[in-house]
Amino acid sequence: DGCSCCPVCARQRGESCSALLPCDESSGLYCERGHDDGGASGICMVLEGDNCVFDGMIYRNGETFQPSCKYQCTCRDGQIGCLPRCNLDLLLPGPDCPFPRKVEVPGECCEKWVCDPKDDVILGGFAMAAFRQEATLGIDVADSSANCIEQTTEWSACSKSCGMGFSTRVTNRNQQCEMVKQTRLCMMRPCENEESPDKKGKKCVRTKKSLRAVRFEYKNCTSVQLYKPRYCGLCSDGRCCTPHNTKTIQVEFRCPQGKVVKKPMMLINTCVCHNNCPQSNNAFFQPLELTSSEVKI
């Protein structure tokens, strides 16, 4: 009402209105007050707005139209606002659908997500701003469309605070210029719980390099090459250390029965210590031993 204290039913077109009985403004109505009672009351009238012009067609104020099957638009006082009619949400990978992809359906307007069982398709998912600058190695991006405006999110935080995990991102860096989801293996630190040699008086160690060459392990598969990766250190003052500058490489794994697979994996260049820690942060406080020759999941 006019006092902004009591909810009242909005008056509709042609109904009487006053300061205590307002018109339905969401329907483009206003109170046209008369002069008999000093303008205290009136009648709800339609507020005439400017027309809209779209693709050579003229639409009246308040008129709704569909320029295509994928959008529904409304003219509001000379301005056009449109809403998508198709579900544009990205399908996150899960156990029941680990490899989703978008396909066109014959006879239907909107594309649909289907599950792709191929094991060699790179997974993906929504990304959080946990990682900053990232260099991609071993992934061919030369076939991107010339008319495509590249959009790539940052990699998400690693799914595990120690041991082998994965992180995800969304990108249209492909020949079709379509938003797809990618995943890469990641290891912030191994899970050994022995004393780590920290410098005296230092509360946080940002980045540590493995003292010995290690082989990565993934689903009973072992990396063919040896690596000396950098890991994020630990803090004794409640802060967390997470990757800040990373790159992606292709790691070749040898699996049982002689099968060889290649997987993209994150390598850490630098880490940063901060207070924006996960809810369960026990793993970040544990000491770290980096001399293990085998890094297990």
What pLDDT, on a 0 to 100 scale, did the predictor assign at position 127? Answer: 35
Whether 7 shows a pLDDT value over 50: the answer reads: yes
**Confidence grade of residue 106 (pLDDT, cut at 50, 70, 90):** confident
| Domain CATH for 244 | 2.10.90
Both 57 and 36 in one domain: the answer is no
Whether 274 shows a pLDDT value over 50: the answer reads: yes
Per-residue model confidence as pLDDT tens digits over 164-197: 998 888 888 888 788 888 899 999 898 875 445 4
Segment 99-108 shows an average pLDDT of 82
More confident of the two residues 13 and 268 = 268
Segment 214-241 shows an average pLDDT of 89
pTM: 0.47
In a domain, 34, yes or no: yes
Asked if 249 and 185 touch (Cβ cutoff 8 Å), the reply is: no
In a domain, 281, yes or no: no
**Confidence grade of residue 55 (pLDDT, cut at 50, 70, 90):** confident
Count of domains observed in the chain: 3
In a domain, 32, yes or no: yes
- Could you tell me which residues are beta bridge partners of residue 235? 204
Whether 77 shows a pLDDT value over 60: the answer reads: yes
In a domain, 124, yes or no: no
What residue has token string 């996150």? 92
Whether 129 shows a pLDDT value over 80: the answer reads: no
Both 174 and 235 in one domain: the answer is yes
What pLDDT, on a 0 to 100 scale, did the predictor assign at position 252? Answer: 92
Both 80 and 168 in one domain: the answer is no
DSSP states of 126-148: ---TT---EEE-S---TT--TT-
Both 10 and 66 in one domain: the answer is no
Q: In whole numbers, what is the pLDDT of the chain averaged over residues? A: 75
Whether 56 shows a pLDDT value over 90: the answer reads: no
In a domain, 209, yes or no: yes
Gap between the Cα atoms of 229 and 211, Å rounded? 9
**Confidence grade of residue 96 (pLDDT, cut at 50, 70, 90):** low
Among 62, 84, 106, where does a domain finish? 84
What pLDDT, on a 0 to 100 scale, did the predictor assign at position 249? Answer: 92
In a domain, 60, yes or no: yes
**Confidence grade of residue 237 (pLDDT, cut at 50, 70, 90):** confident
Both 214 and 247 in one domain: the answer is yes
Provide the CB-side half-sphere exposure for 116 (13 A, CA): 18
The pairing of beta strand 230-232 with beta strand 165-171: unpaired
Q: Which domain holds residue 214?
A: 163-192+204-274
Gap between the Cα atoms of 31 and 19, Å rounded? 9
Whether 226 shows a pLDDT value over 90: the answer reads: yes
Segment 36-42 shows an average pLDDT of 74
Both 35 and 61 in one domain: the answer is no
Both 4 and 57 in one domain: the answer is no
In a domain, 293, yes or no: no
Query: Nearest CA to 204 among 289, 132, 285?
Result: 285
Gap between the Cα atoms of 2 and 9, Å rounded? 12
In a domain, 148, yes or no: no
